[in-house]
Structure 1
Amino acid sequence: MSPDLRLVFGGDVMLGRHVRDVMLRDGIHAPLEAVSPLLRAADAAIVNLECALTDSLERWHGVPKVFYFAAPPAAGQALADAGIRMVSLANNHSLDYDAQGLADTLRTLDAHGIAHTGAGPDLAWALSPAVVACGEVLVGMAAFCDHQADFAATDDHPGIAWLGLHDETAATDAFARALAPLRAAGVRWPVLSLHWGPNRVTAPAPHLRRLAHAAIDVGWKIVYGHSAHIFHGIELYRGWPILYATGDLVDDYAVDADLRNDHQLLFEVHLGEDALRRIVLHPVFIRHGRVLPADHTQRTWIYTRMQALCRDLGTTARLDGGLLVIKPDATTPHE
């Protein structure tokens, strides 16, 4: 029997603006160094890269935006040194610095051996999945984003793998098509990354829940969501995990006193031969452009909140050895 595989999922990694300043002042590793031992201990750490890696100053040529995020290309080394092996680029900031910024990002990630999916020089590249080997086991990921439609890649233009999600039948068909090359490549653990839904909502919308179920039904083993900037509860559907929103791993965003978006989580998914073993939740705290292990007070708030959110989705999260853990039988009856 193969040993358990450990995948760690983080939410958005935004290394631009004030986080960029931290990197330039205190060293490129400063934003992630406090959690890098946990990331490196996993077989693969996976995040949504919510910025370009570029020195280009040319911003997106389309409709003006409020926020533009770019990190120095040296951030690629920081990501690799932190243990991040795979990133999603299907989000609403990958083209903030236009086609040149995306090209620089792709080149930088390739130079540091970080697999990526969800954006590219054309639609075929954007749809092409990322695959990493964890020993003899392959983990693969495809990625879609449901907003910033003007970032959509075409057959002859760079961009992201944009996908409208309100036509649920068409979206489910796209999920099935995206899975096919991973199956053909012998990937045991396919991950569907979805940058979906609005910011700072506290629970997934009903149509997103239906789509997540449909993704599992067509064969995806893990649904990995992000975009809300705060974490949502976890649902186990047919024994497989749906991480509706993994929040942010590092950013410089203003803190909402009610949503506490500086209180975040890392999601460690343990996989057996062909089954989910458990999910271990690691509480973290974002302060001044750095992510840190949460202290006792922060951890208590995070765990209490997460237990309630999971309960709303029919999942029981229990404390085990000081960490919050979800196991495959962790379902609670709905009233």
Structure 2
Amino acid sequence: MRKLFLIVIIFGFSASVHAQKYSKEVIDSMYVLVKDVQEKLSRPSEIKIMAVGDIMMGTNFPNDSYLPPAGKGPFDDVNDILTQADILFGNLEGTLTDEGENAKRCSDPSKCYSFRSPESYGRYLEESGFDVMSIANNHIGDFGDIGIKNTSKTLEKHNIAYAGVFAQPATIFEKDGIKYGFCAFAPNKDCVKIHNLTNAKQIVTELKEKADIVIVSFHGGAEGFKHTHVTRKTERFYGEDRGNVYLFAHTMIDAGADIVIGHGPHVSRAFEVYKNKFIAYSLGNFCTYSRFNLDGIKGYAPIAEINIDLEGNFIKGKLHSAKQIDEVYPFMDNKKGALKEIEKLTNEDFPESKLIFEKDGSFTQQKQ
């Protein structure tokens, strides 16, 4: 039907050009119209967005012992899943820089958690198909301004969109004829603030005016085993205000966001569908080589697959369960630990979303 519609337009345009003498301006405008219709008809009817949590592929600070041995790529054991995405998102938990001094005050460098991955590791992200990444988190400033600048340059070199710092609070990128707007927020000093809802709403509103689909990322919420639930209140951790992630996510969707992706607690959290838009409150750790506590549920590395329509509305999803253990890159988990954890938390924290999970990880929203 769509092809027939395009044929009718082109045929009518061609006939009218031969039948009448049009000005160059009219003919040019008709060609633009036909091109616009062609682009719209070539778009997919659904978009498959995949999202993962924290990524830190290895650090050479304080020494090279925290880098993985050569020969194996960070995503080799999960690429069969990742490469199925139309859009692939991750949170870059650290820097990609070959320069910079540690910006944190640490009397003992071995106990100082600053992350500096070599710039050459950027190719792994490109090879796995990452389209967009958040750099809004508490580790983007680990190596000062030069670390932030080099991380940005490295992502640009590998054609990966990014946002979340003052120099780049938001970005717009295009793929397969669809224009995406992306912005990212965190409570940390080098990042666009999750607490400033007025500013966040303005950023999302402006993106919505320019893009077809708006993706919002946040780094927020308290960390660890005791903080798997979404409290719907302001969360604090070691005295720091880590934001009210429930209020933030809902406010962003009210402002025009189509999907909201959270990370920061280092554990998985619930999924929610609000006003037909999908929210992941935390995708936990994903590819964090060494220097991270990966005991128990902290080792779950979920891959969220979300299908949306061209209006950004949730259609269906699938949760692929991957796993990590210390100094081993992510691999698929036959026991489906991430699926079981997120299904449980979703049922407990957001029963009103009525998400139904199947044993293979697929999930849909129960019809009202």
CA contact (8 A) 1:22 1:30 kept: no
The whole-number CA distance in structure 1 between the counterparts of 2:57 and 2:367 is 35
Q: Does 1:255 align with 2:300?
A: no
- Aligned Cα root-mean-square deviation (Å): 2.4
Q: Does 1:98 align with 2:137?
A: no
Q: Look up the equivalent residue of 1:142 and give its one-letter code.
A: C
The whole-number CA distance in structure 2 between the counterparts of 1:290 and 1:227 is 19
Q: For residue 310 of structure 1, what is the aligned residue in structure 2?
A: 346
- Say which of 259, 273, 277 aligns to 1:236: 273
Q: For residue 181 of structure 1, what is the aligned residue in structure 2?
A: 206
Seen in structure 2, the aligned counterparts of structure 1 residues 286 and 24 have a Cα distance that, compared at 3 Å, is closer
Question: How far off is 1:24 after superposition?
Answer: 5.2
Q: Which moved more, 1:303-312 or 1:230-239?
A: 303-312
CA contact (8 A) 2:205 2:255 kept: no
After superposition, what is the alpha-carbon deviation per residue over 1:93-129, rounded to whole angstroms, capped at 9, x for unaligned? Answer: 011111111111111111111111012xxx3x232x2
Q: Which moved more, 1:284-293 or 1:56-65?
A: 56-65
The whole-number CA distance in structure 2 between the counterparts of 1:189 and 1:327 is 21
Seen in structure 2, the aligned counterparts of structure 1 residues 23 and 7 have a Cα distance that, compared at 3 Å, is farther
- Say which of 103, 106, 114 aligns to 2:160: 114
- Say which of 165, 171, 182 aligns to 1:130: 171
After superposition, what is the alpha-carbon deviation per residue over 1:244-299, rounded to whole angstroms, capped at 9, x for unaligned? Answer: 11111111322334xx211221001101232211121000011323011112x3x1
Q: For residue 314 of structure 2, what is the aligned residue in structure 1?
A: 276
Q: Look up the equivalent residue of 1:264 and give its one-letter code.
A: A
Q: For residue 48 of structure 2, what is the aligned residue in structure 1?
A: 6
Q: For residue 332 of structure 2, what is the aligned residue in structure 1?
A: 293
Seen in structure 2, the aligned counterparts of structure 1 residues 75 and 306 have a Cα distance that, compared at 3 Å, is same
CA contact (8 A) 1:16 1:51 kept: no
Q: Does 1:206 align with 2:232?
A: yes
CA contact (8 A) 1:318 1:324 kept: no
The whole-number CA distance in structure 2 between the counterparts of 1:330 and 1:306 is 21
TM-score, normalised on structure 2?
Answer: 0.76
Seen in structure 2, the aligned counterparts of structure 1 residues 97 and 268 have a Cα distance that, compared at 3 Å, is same
Seen in structure 2, the aligned counterparts of structure 1 residues 48 and 224 have a Cα distance that, compared at 3 Å, is same
CA contact (8 A) 2:212 2:310 kept: no
Higher radius of gyration, 1 or 2: 2
Q: For residue 260 of structure 2, what is the aligned residue in structure 1?
A: 223
Q: Does 1:30 align with 2:66?
A: no
Aligned pair count reads: 302
Q: Look up the equivalent residue of 1:131 and give its one-letter code.
A: I
Q: Look up the equivalent residue of 2:277 and give its one-letter code.
A: W
Seen in structure 2, the aligned counterparts of structure 1 residues 247 and 94 have a Cα distance that, compared at 3 Å, is same
The whole-number CA distance in structure 1 between the counterparts of 2:328 and 2:140 is 19
CA contact (8 A) 2:58 2:66 kept: no
The whole-number CA distance in structure 1 between the counterparts of 2:74 and 2:217 is 23
Q: Look up the equivalent residue of 1:193 and give its one-letter code.
A: S
Q: Which moved more, 1:198-207 or 1:81-90?
A: 198-207
Q: Look up the equivalent residue of 1:177 and give its one-letter code.
A: Q
Between Structure 1 and Structure 2, the one with more helix by share is 2
The whole-number CA distance in structure 2 between the counterparts of 1:241 and 1:83 is 22
Where in structure 1 are there 5+ consecutive unaligned residues? 152-159, 166-170
